[in-house]
Amino acid sequence: MPGKSLLSAAALAAGALLSSPALYAQEVQLSTTDGGITLTGELLEFTGETFILATSVGKLEIDAFSVVCEGAACPPPELMRSDFRIAGAKSISEGFLPALIDAYGFDLDVDVLNTLTDDGSELTLTGANDENLATINLAGLGSTGGLKALLDGEASLAVTSRPLRNREARAFADAGLGNLADPENEKVLALDGLVVVTSRDNPVRAIRETDVPEVFSGRINNWSQLGGPDAPIRLYVRDESSGTREVFDNLVMRPVGLAVADQVISVDNDDAIADLVSADPYGIGFTGFASLRNAKGLAIEGVCGLQTPPTAFTIKTEEYPLTRRLYMYQTNRPKTRHAKALMDFALSDMAQQVIADAGFIDQAITAETINAQGLRLASALTAPEAGQSFGQLQDMVGTLINADRLSTTFRFETGSSELDSKAQADIQRLAAQLMEGKYDNKELLLVGFTDSVGQADLNQFLSADRAGQVQQALLDAAGGDLPNVKFRVLGYGEISPLGCNETFQGRLINRRVEVWTRDLVGGE
């Protein structure tokens, strides 16, 4: 437990000399939040985050927020509180943040009380003696509203269902608040997919990517135009201020110069979209994968004929065309101890399980056999480039035939050789598993791919080079040595598309480094 470990670490550091003056010089008692460990000594100084205590074993520094202080010299309770606000997308602030904070409290062994407010909820962390350790206000202001609150200093953290816009990044930089696109300030909490949904009573099972904006603009207005019954289409959409709507507009509508029709049923949350559509055989809407509920999600068919269903794995690998990342942002402003600790906790394995339990797509590493990758092999054989690279296809299939694909898929910043913020976090996540021995005596295949822009031989070189960059990043994260893991770096260029190269989004999907594992056999 964090409180015990911090106090134990302090005890092990006995004898460390500190030069701080004796500002308090009165005896106090410090106990972990569960009362399991108690330490008595003379309080020399309270820095705001640390107690400096003179004990029989020497001077100790102890994290003030991991213990309860009793005695006349203890600082006033208001100095020990860690109140802060998180503002942003309702799908996050209502979808899984309360459960995430509850798990954070469980990890600290403190109680968490959740109270509803006008714009969200307020969660209070309470210690063993009923002292208020922190009050966290969750405000569902939408992604844009959350970033504005962060910029204005009205929130310590912002959560969004879309990435930071360039003009927003400039506003933070101009205000001296740092580069919010830097991986230190931009964290991917989870993944979600925008799913085009219908009733399970509707026979349509897939929709062309090009038809989606036509439907929601009202240009296609009868189900018979989509291979369904002769009946009018009813549109259910999110309100314009929502992050879900903004992502849908950016991914689907704006690239083709269309806007959502005026004659729609506007809904203020993702769950309600799914509920309304599931009860309407002629309704269609869009919602988050986490809010699919009893509605039916349609596979998306690209302009090249490739269909991708919305599944947890295709969203984790970001191959589903309407995948979206869910973000948490911070600035360089000072933050309370619990605000900083909660942001770190949100990326932990424990937090990822909470996110998965809430119905969102966590970032824990999962695997699929090549049998489940049949669609990508079929698309490779039918791609325009297949005739020119059949030998490479045979080599790829022969190499991967007995391997499993991990969900971890590395991508780079657009127009850059630098891993993006999610990929950098994934490097740490995979490197930790490698150091734990999870893939000992296995071969780790790092397989690079590109889009079809440019010369095929140069694309193959680039794909292998990117895979090599991932290998080096993993070795660096692991301290430079993984003797029990055999790496193999491969580059297959443009031969195995998972998206349609005719579109910008498809090309983004195709530029990737996949991770496969297979057992070492015999003397391999």
The CATH number for 242's domain is 3.40.190.10
pTM above 0.85, yes or no: no
pLDDT number for residue 132? 83
Burial class (CB in 10 A: 0-12, 13-18, 19+), 205: middle
pLDDT number for residue 5? 35
| Alpha-helix residue ranges (DSSP H) falling in 217-311 | 243-248, 270-278
Binning pLDDT at 50, 70 and 90, where does residue 383 land?
A: low
pLDDT number for residue 69? 87
pLDDT in tens, 198-225: 999 999 999 999 999 999 999 999 999 9
Domain check: are 494 and 426 in the same one? Answer: yes
- Say which range, 241-245, 320-324, 349-353, 431-435, has the weakest mean pLDDT: 241-245
Binning pLDDT at 50, 70 and 90, where does residue 4 land?
A: very low
Of the candidates 210, 239, 497, the residue with the CA atom closest to the CA atom of residue 380: 497
Domain boundary, last residue among 254, 284, 316? 316
Non-local CB neighbours of 305 within 8 Å, separated by 6+ positions = 382
pLDDT number for residue 168? 97
Residue 388 has pLDDT above 80, yes or no: no
- Say which range, 175-189, 213-227, 391-405, has the weakest mean pLDDT: 391-405
- Report if residue 322 sits inside a domain: no
- Report if residue 178 sits inside a domain: yes
Domain check: are 10 and 146 in the same one? Answer: no
pLDDT number for residue 206? 96
Greater pLDDT, 225 or 245: 225
Residue 8 has pLDDT above 60, yes or no: no
Out of 14-18, 201-205, 383-387, give the one with best mean pLDDT. Answer: 201-205
Domain check: are 277 and 352 in the same one? Answer: no
**Is 129 within 8 Å of 388 (Cβ atoms)?**
no
Domain check: are 243 and 389 in the same one? Answer: no
Query: What domain range includes position 296?
Result: 192-316
pLDDT number for residue 78? 64
Domain check: are 429 and 414 in the same one? Answer: yes
- Report if residue 321 sits inside a domain: no
What distance in Å separates the CA atoms of residue 314 and residue 328, rounded to the nearest whole number?
22
- Report if residue 396 sits inside a domain: yes
CATH number of the domain to which 491 belongs: 3.30.1330.60
Residue 409 has pLDDT above 80, yes or no: yes
Which run of H or E residues covers position 368? strand 367-369
Average pLDDT taken over every residue of the chain: 87
- Report if residue 24 sits inside a domain: yes
Non-local CB neighbours of 132 within 8 Å, separated by 6+ positions = 77, 81, 124, 125, 126
- Report if residue 214 sits inside a domain: yes
pLDDT number for residue 16? 33
Domain check: are 375 and 513 in the same one? Answer: yes
Mean pLDDT, rounded, for 376-381: 68
Is 93 strand, coil or helix? helix
Binning pLDDT at 50, 70 and 90, where does residue 418 land?
A: confident
Greater pLDDT, 440 or 416: 440
Binning pLDDT at 50, 70 and 90, where does residue 482 land?
A: confident
- Say which range, 7-21, 383-397, 492-506, has the weakest mean pLDDT: 7-21
**Distance from CA of residue 130 to its chain's centroid?**
34
- Say which range, 74-83, 87-96, 104-113, 445-454, has the weakest mean pLDDT: 74-83
Non-local CB neighbours of 125 within 8 Å, separated by 6+ positions = 82, 105, 108, 110, 111, 112, 132, 133, 134, 135, 136, 338
Mean pLDDT, rounded, for 310-334: 93
- Report if residue 325 sits inside a domain: no
Greater pLDDT, 241 or 262: 262
Domain check: are 74 and 88 in the same one? Answer: no
Binning pLDDT at 50, 70 and 90, where does residue 116 land?
A: confident
pLDDT in tens, 325-334: 999 999 999 8
Binning pLDDT at 50, 70 and 90, where does residue 46 land?
A: confident
Domain check: are 52 and 92 in the same one? Answer: no
CATH number of the domain to which 47 belongs: 2.30.30.100
Binning pLDDT at 50, 70 and 90, where does residue 68 land?
A: confident
Domain check: are 372 and 505 in the same one? Answer: yes
Domain check: are 230 and 305 in the same one? Answer: yes
Structural domains of the chain, count: 4
Residue 245 has pLDDT above 80, yes or no: yes
- Report if residue 455 sits inside a domain: yes
Mean pLDDT, rounded, for 132-152: 93
